[in-house]
Amino acid sequence: MNAFSFSRVLDFFRGKAITIPPMDGALRPNSALDDAIALAHIPAPDNLVSSDQRTLFSSGKSLYELGTQGGEPAAIAHFDSEIAALAACPDGGLGLALDDGRILLLDGSLKVLSTIPAIGPEKLFCPTALLFADKDTLLVVQGSSHVRPSQWARDLLELGCSGSLWRIDLRTGNHEALLKGLAWPNGIAAGANGAVVVSESWKHRLVEIANRRTCTLLDKLPGYPGRLSPASGSGFWLALFAPRNRLLEFVLGENDYRRIMIAEVDPRFWIAPALSSGIDFREPLQCGGVKTMGVHKPWSPTRSYGLLVRLDADFQPVASYHSRANGTRHGITSALDLDGRVLAASRGGNSIIELTAGAKKP
């Protein structure tokens, strides 16, 4: 606290600048996501998984199957709460987390086998991603100990750091917290040698957890990392669901302003990252985002962005696919690699897209 106040004193004289990492190197912007083919248009698609030769995804409270020959996606199951996360079990079943905190285990015919209820705020409350380590072990990350998955923006604005990683033994029902105090863990993948890799959104980084020790694999990302999914060959796909924004990072330090905004303003109109933006006139606007002479500058500061990153086996970025400030395929929340065919769910752009061959090699 002392160091903080001292720097505030210095800031008075020199003006402390807020900076965010540039999109450069493998993260050089392009318009690959906007150029991609749309496979389906559906409100807020999320959670692409491949289960038993079928491609499934969620949209709101429903589970959909993507048509194989370009047909419309078909709803195959409905639930009484929004679907927060999906994972395919090696035995052909599905793990499915709901916004109210429950986790359902389904078999191949989508029959509910068992339910892991929300068991108190200290344990399961906010499942944001699931991973079957094997058919009897489920890894769960929970974003926060007190807000629901759909309220992620509130957790960010409240500087949340109460996420955790859990291992659930499906045979015995034992729960074990592997790690606590994470800043909205939001994606999970199996790393090398039994390690678990988690994306920690509010700290813009990927951490590896092995034997209760953590190390940072990748940090200073220009966006908020979300779901991780394995890529064909080796490596992973990382969906960054929203961009970092200097105004937001400034607001995170303005406690008074932030408190009033959270209390008085509809969350849709907060200064907060979003999955899509520029739709309603009550949304905040930044100077650079002003449309001038009919042009919305693609590099302008924005609350939403589309960014999908290909990571190598060491979790370092090698390629990226963008939809910039003036694009529409924003809020990429998950990706699925089907032997080289890469699908992505643009939750903000209400579409499921397939990266074209041309776009694949930037």
Partner 1 sequence: MALSESLARLRYKYIPDHLIGEILSKRWADNLVPLLFLLLTVAGLGSFIPNFFTIQSLSDASRQLGEFSIVVIGLTIVMLGGGIDLSVGAIFGLTAFAAVSVVYIFAMPIWLAFLAAVGVGALAGAFNGFLIGYLRLRAFLTTLVTFIILRAIFDILVVDHAAEIQLSDVSSPTWDFIGDGTILNLPVSFVAAIVVAIIAHIFLTRLRPGWHILAVGGSRRSAYNAGIAVRRTIFMSYVISGVCCGIAGFLIAARLSGVGPGTGAGLEIMALTAAVVGGNSLGGGRGSIAKGLMGAVVVLVLTNGLIRLGFNSGANQMVLGVVLALAVILDVRWLKNRHKMLAKVYVAPIYAKMDASRSAAPDSGSPYALNDRLANTEFIGLGELEGPEDVILDNDDHLYCGTRHGDVVRYFAPDYKRHEVFAHTGGFPLGLAFDRDGALKVCVGAMGLYSITPDKEVSRLSAETNRSRLSVIDDARLRDPNDCDIAPDGRIFFTDSTTRYDAHDWALDSIEARPTGRILCYDPRTGKTRTVLDRLTYANGVCMAHDGQSFFFAESWACRVSRYWFDGPKAGTVEIVIKDMPGYPDNINRASDGRYWMAWLGMRTPSFDIALRKPGMRRRMTRRLPQDDWLFPNINQGGVVKFDENGEISDVLGNLGGLSHPMVTSMREHKGYLYVGGILNNRIGRYKLDGADPAWTSNRSYWGAKS
Could you say whether residue 163 binds partner 1 (CB under 8 A)? no
Min CB(327)–partner 1 separation in Å: 14
d(CA 177, CA 139): 10
Q: Using the rule CB under 8 A, is 271 a contact of partner 1? A: yes
Among 76, 134, 159, 250, the residue binding partner 1 under the rule CB under 8 A is: 250
Q: Which of residues 198-237 bind partner 1 (CB under 8 A)?
A: none
CB-count burial class (<10 Å; 0-12, 13-18, 19+) for 213: exposed
**Two tokens, residue 282:** 């009550």
Site membership for partner 1, residue 252 (CB under 8 A): no
CA–CA separation, 32 vs 335, rounded Å? 14
Nearer to partner 1, 65 or 283 (CB): 283
Answer for the pair 188, 141: CB distance below 8 angstroms, yes or no: yes
CA distances for 14 relative to 3, 7, 25, 251, angstroms = 16, 10, 31, 19
292 is a contact residue toward partner 1 (CB under 8 A): yes
Q: By the 8 A CB rule, do 217 and 208 touch? A: yes
Task: Based on the shown chain and the rule CB under 8 A, indicate whether residue 22 belongs to the binding site for partner 1.
Answer: no
Select 119 or 260, whichever has its Cβ closest to partner 1. 260
Bridge partners of residue 179, in order along the sequence: 165
Among 256, 339, 357, 361, binds partner 1 (CB under 8 A): 256
Alpha-carbon torsion (98, 197, 168, 337), positive or negative: positive
Minimal distance, residue 256 CB to partner 1, in Å: 7
CB of 299 to partner 1, least distance (A): 9
Nearest to 236 by CA among 214, 271, 208: 208
Could you say which of 92, 288, 298, 317 contacts partner 1 (CB under 8 A)?
288
d(CA 342, CA 28): 19
Q: Pick the piece of the chain touching partner 1 (CB under 8 A) from 36-44, 111-119, 127-135, 253-261.
A: 253-261
- Give yes or no for a contact between 134 and 170, defined as CB atoms under 8 angstroms apart: no
Q: Which stretch binds partner 1 (CB under 8 A): 14-22, 129-137, 151-159, 190-198?
A: 14-22
Of 50-58, 87-95, 263-271, 305-313: span binding partner 1 (CB under 8 A): 263-271
Rounded Cα distance between 269 and 272, Å, is: 8
Q: Which one of residues 127, 226, 289, 349 is an interface residue with partner 1 (CB under 8 A)?
A: 289
By CB under 8 A, tell whether 9 contacts partner 1: no
Q: Is 159 in the site for partner 1 (CB under 8 A)?
A: no
For residues 202 and 184, the answer to whether their CB atoms sit within 8 Å is yes
Nearer to partner 1 (CB atom), residue 16 or residue 28: 16
Nearest Cα neighbor of 180 from 164, 167, 166 is 164
Q: Which of 10, 16, 192, 230 binds partner 1 (CB under 8 A)?
A: 16
Burial (0-12, 13-18, 19+ Cβ within 10 Å), 149: buried
Which residues lie closer than 8 Å to 124 by C-beta, 6 or more apart? 101, 103, 116, 117, 118, 140, 142, 166, 175
**Interacting stretch for partner 1, rule CB under 8 A, among 88-96, 196-204, 232-240, 259-267?**
259-267
Asked if residue 298 binds partner 1 (CB under 8 A), the reply is no
Among 133, 161, 247, 252, binds partner 1 (CB under 8 A): 247
Q: 211, 304 in Cβ contact below 8 A?
A: no
Q: How many residues bind partner 1 (CB under 8 A)?
A: 39
**Which residues contact partner 1 by CB under 8 A?**
11, 15-18, 245-247, 250, 254, 256-257, 260-261, 264-266, 269-271, 278-294, 300-301
